């Protein structure tokens, strides 16, 4: 493999990590700025502000969820191309689960349902555990990257989910 391709892949990975950290820090900063009032009063302005805050958080979260879906589609692409070369049925199953995981992430972005997060975790862990059991550690870790991204994205907004 050419050194430039390796450097490009590492550079892209570093950029993804940096932008992900920046987005997470931005969400944490917005959460810190919005401290709850000392007394609980329910009026329309406070509810409107809370709804606007949730909308802003989900807008930032949506971009990172798109990134997780792209990661799943990349896993599906790699699995499909490998399955076409050697005809492994396990790789076809992995490609199908990766596509299903990408669809679940997009539905999660629209529906904001916590049960979809659990479904996503299950779909991602199946091929990862299989790859770990067969001694293929690199594909297992590659499959876990979108899962970690979804966890880091959903954790700050989990209380606002259904």
In tens, the pLDDT along 107-132 reads 988 887 888 888 888 888 888 888 88
Q: What is the pLDDT of residue 99?
A: 93
User: Is pLDDT of 41 > 60?
Assistant: no
Global model pTM greater than 0.85: no
Of the candidates 148, 157, 145, 159, the residue with the CA atom closest to the CA atom of residue 27 = 157
Residue 20 lies in a domain: no
Split into its structural domains, the chain has a count of: 1
Count of C-beta atoms within a 10 Å radius of residue 71: 22
**CA 114/CA 97 separation, integer angstroms:** 19
**CA 74/CA 71 separation, integer angstroms:** 5
Residue 112 sits in which domain range? 63-162
- 105 near 72, Cβ under 8 Å? yes
Residue 148 lies in a domain: yes
Of the candidates 119, 120, 139, the residue with the CA atom closest to the CA atom of residue 129 = 139
């Amino acid at each position: 493999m050419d050194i430039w391709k390796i450097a490009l892949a590492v550079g892209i990975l570093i950029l993804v990590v940096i932008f992900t950290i920046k987005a997470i820090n931005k969400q944490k900063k917005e959460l810190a700025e919005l401290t709850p009032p000392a007394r609980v009063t329910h009026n329309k302005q406070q509810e409107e502000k809370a709804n606007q805050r949730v909308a802003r958080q989900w807008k930032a979260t949506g971009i990172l969820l798109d990134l997780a879906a792209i990661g799943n589609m990349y896993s599906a692409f790699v699995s499909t191309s490998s399955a076409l070369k050697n005809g492994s049925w396990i790789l076809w199953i992995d490609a199908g689960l990766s596509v299903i995981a990408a669809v679940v992430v997009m539905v999660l972005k629209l529906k904001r349902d916590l049960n979809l997060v659990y479904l996503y975790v299950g779909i991602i862990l199946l091929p990862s555990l299989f790859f770990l059991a067969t001694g293929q550690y690199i594909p297992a870790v590659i499959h876990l990257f979108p899962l970690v991204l979804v966890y880091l994205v959903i954790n700050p907004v989990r209380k606002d989910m259904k």
